[in-house]
Structure 1
């Protein structure tokens, strides 16, 4: 009887805490990490999926724009890379990402 009551109390408590545990994953840093992982392992599909989601969440984030530029360069889409560089120059001209992207375009 005692074990049964602990189980019946523990299950609802575990179910109540489940959303808190799931909410611990913040999407933006996790997606940025997925981009870095995809770039390191040459998995452009992972980079594209993560970029797509990140562009919905934070389209003006310098790291997102720089990652899009790097992907465009890897896929030989130079006009897209130039547009990303111009956009990055407008939105974050003093950022590290802009300086790195500018040197990657040379």
Structure 2
């Protein structure tokens, strides 16, 4: 992990990232420097990780553009997906709670028939 203490350091990393991007035939060449800065910053100024993240992002965006474009969080499909994710999260929290407590399921046959 490299410390980026000055704007010059960021410019150097973005320049290296731009050189790498231009050497990759399957990646776009017209990427804004601000986008490259975000990749570098989000990977804690680690150039190799930023390159890997950019490669994955642009490859996935090229292969499946529907995943990364026209994202509306209020669309019916996104609301439905969010509800499903939240439902499963609540179920897992409930199961974890039951395992942590001394919950013993009620068995009516054993209780009433004294089996």
Shorter-chain TM-score: what band?
under 0.3
TM-score (norm 2): 0.24
Higher helix share: 1
Structure with larger Rg: 2
